């Protein structure tokens, strides 16, 4: 039975605009979506409106059946979530799961104010609808949910950006460049604490059990089974590898047990990165598979902090040279399922452990094209990387989402590269 509530159905607009996929990106045709059941899930514990974006970031992870949702706000509090589900779900179960994340992850958080530490001199001048234009021009093609093929022009811009970032890391910070594999050890991610903080993003790699009977049974069922996914699962096992959710974990593993008597180490790497972002996926901004360039600093606390500061400043200059509007702000990670979330977020923001480079991609909306993170001794201690005095080394990492960064360039300069400022094209050394 649908509960009757003295509630005006007033979705929190910013959240809808910011998070719901737009028509071009919905995975289901509108006529099908409109036939799906919509249910009102009343929250046992309403939350203040200022926490609505924290709730909205998590709703799709509550259940894979949720196709769309609106937060229902009344009197300054979010009191219910209106969900559209693929099948008529159990409202009681949805309510239990929503209340679980509200209690664990949302309510413990406080209101935070945006704190800008750098602003580009350029003003935003985005045209909306860039993704649709890139798709219409054949410059991107959807290959799956949050998985895109990109054409030569987009790829050239992405590579040009990456070359600048690589050259900055190697030229100004004496970084060693490494190429790491696409598989990362499960043990590394576990030791790094990734699995307990961000399980919702993680992609594991499995294979068939090494047994001739398994191969035989699997192969003979391939053509006839209804559910190939289930068939694969029944024959598979986890062999200790995952797909990397960031590039820096390779570096900690690579340096494990190392003493840094001869001074700090700087490594830069670029690779394919995987995060399952559920229905939060969006155009080239929020992908399931994307390319990340990272620069990792390992050494003394003050040296690492200074290197992060210098790189942040150099990236600000690069963004200005690229003619982009944008700013660098204090940020925090969206921790999940972790009882200490309030403390993590408070410390991360108060100590300015994470900054994000935010670039406008349409009127009134920006995305983070890069982040600048300090980890204290966390990884030095987890991976036995030590300083000359035997203490754990400190680390910092700076990561750039190359598709996002390149996309922001198209959003701000337009999809026609011929019309881009000459100096920007020269910087990226595009041939067009
Ligand atoms: P967001 O808050 O946007 O989810 P994040 O804090 O999860 O970003 P980081 O873990 O700091 O991101 O990763 C470094 C960079 O990688 C981000 O600043 C962004 O440019 C890029 N990135 C992260 N997730 C994605 C994604 N799903 N698709 C494309 N790029 C991404
Ligand atoms: Zn990192
Ligand atoms: Mg994220």
Which residue has the CA at smallest separation from atom 31 of ligand 1?
401
Map residue 99 onto helix, strand or coil.
helix
Q: Which is it for strands 265-274 and 176-178: parallel, antiparallel or unpaired?
A: parallel
pLDDT digit string, tens, across residues 125-163: 877 899 999 999 999 999 999 999 999 999 999 999 999
Q: What is the CA radius of gyration of the chain?
A: 23
Token pair recorded at residue 101:
């994340």
Distance CA 215, CA 206 (A): 14
Longest CA–CA separation in the chain, Å: 69
**How much is the average pLDDT of 173-195?**
97
Query: Does the Cβ of 290 fall within 6 Å of ligand 1?
Result: yes
Tell which residue, 282, 314, 274, has the closest CA to residue 404.
282
367 alpha carbon, closest ligand: 1
Token pair recorded at residue 100:
């679980």
pLDDT digit string, tens, across residues 222-236: 999 999 999 999 999
pLDDT digit string, tens, across residues 423-432: 999 999 765 4
Q: What is the pTM for the complete model shown?
A: 0.89
Tell which residue, 348, 354, 392, 394, has the closest CA to residue 370.
354
Contact 262, 240 (CB under 8 A): no
Q: What percent of the chain has pLDDT over 90?
A: 79
| Closest atom, ligand 1, to C-alpha of 356 | 18
Tell which residue, 135, 141, 58, has the closest CA to residue 104.
58
**How much is the average pLDDT of 18-41?**
54
> Which CATH code is given to the segment(s) 116-184+244-428?
3.30.930.10
pLDDT at 118: 98
pLDDT digit string, tens, across residues 397-416: 999 999 999 999 999 999 99
Tell which residue, 29, 23, 59, has the closest CA to residue 277.
59
Range with the poorest average pLDDT among 3-7, 230-234, 277-281, 282-286: 3-7
pLDDT at 35: 66
Tell which residue, 48, 151, 39, 45, has the closest CA to residue 86.
39
Token pair recorded at residue 145:
């949910």
| Closest atom, ligand 1, to C-alpha of 354 | 11
pLDDT at 75 over 50: yes
pLDDT at 34: 56
Q: How far is the CA of 110 from the centre of ligand 2 (A)?
A: 25
Contact 405, 319 (CB under 8 A): no
Domain boundaries, the chain: 13-106, 116-184+244-428, 204-241
Which residue has the CA at smallest separation from atom 8 of ligand 1?
368
Distance CA 377, CA 396 (A): 10
Q: How far is the CA of 76 from the centre of ligand 1 (A)?
A: 30
């Amino acid at each position: 039975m649908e509960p009757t509530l003295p509630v005006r159905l007033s979705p929190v607009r910013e959240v809808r605009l910011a998070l719901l996929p737009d028509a071009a990106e919905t995975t289901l045709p509108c006529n099908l979506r409109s036939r799906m059941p919509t249910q009102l899930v009343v929250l046992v514990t309403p939350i203040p409106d200022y926490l609505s974006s924290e709730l909205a970031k998590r709703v799709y992870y509550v259940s894979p059946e949720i196709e769309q949702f609106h937060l229902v706000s009344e009197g300054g509090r979010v009191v219910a979530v209106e969900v559209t589900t693929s099948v008529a779900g159990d409202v009681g179960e949805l309510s239990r799961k929503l209340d679980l994340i509200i209690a664990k992850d949302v309510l413990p958080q406080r209101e935070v104010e945006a704190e800008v530490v750098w602003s580009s001199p350029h003003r935003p001048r985005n045209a909306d609808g860039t993704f649709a234009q890139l798709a219409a021009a054949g410059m991107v093609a959807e290959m799956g949910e949050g998985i895109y093929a990109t054409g030569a022009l987009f790829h050239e811009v992405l590579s040009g950006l990456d070359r600048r970032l690589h050259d900055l890391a190697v030229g100004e910070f004496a970084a060693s460049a490494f190429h790491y594999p696409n598989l990362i050890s499960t043990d590394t991610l576990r030791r790094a604490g990734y699995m307990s903080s961000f399980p919702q993003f993680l992609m594991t790699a499995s294979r068939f059990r090494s047994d001739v009977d398994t191969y035989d049974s699997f192969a003979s069922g391939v053509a006839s089974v209804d559910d190939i996914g289930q068939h694969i699962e029944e024959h598979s096992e986890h062999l200790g590898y995952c797909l990397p959710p960031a590039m820096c974990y390779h570096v900690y593993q690579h340096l494990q047990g190392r003493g840094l008597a001869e001074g700090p180490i700087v490594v830069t790497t670029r690779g394919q990165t995987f995060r399952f972002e559920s229905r939060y996926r969006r155009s080239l901004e929020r992908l399931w598979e994307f390319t990340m360039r990272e620069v990792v600093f390992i050494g003394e606390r003050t040296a690492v902090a200074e290197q992060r500061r210098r790189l942040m400043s150099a990236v600000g200059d690069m963004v200005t040279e690229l003619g982009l509007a944008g700013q660098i702000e204090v940020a925090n990670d969206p921790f999940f399922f972790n009882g200490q979330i309030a403390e993590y977020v408070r410390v991360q923001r108060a100590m300015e452990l994470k900054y994000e480079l935010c670039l406008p991609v349409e009127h009134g909306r920006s995305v983070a094209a890069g982040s600048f993170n300090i980890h204290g001794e966390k990884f030095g201690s987890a991976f036995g990387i030590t300083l000359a005095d035997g203490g754990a080394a400190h680390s910092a990492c700076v990561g750039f989402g190359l598709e996002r960064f390149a996309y922001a360039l198209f959003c701000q300069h337009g999809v026609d590269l011929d019309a881009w400022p000459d100096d920007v094209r020269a910087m990226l050394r595009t041939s067009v």
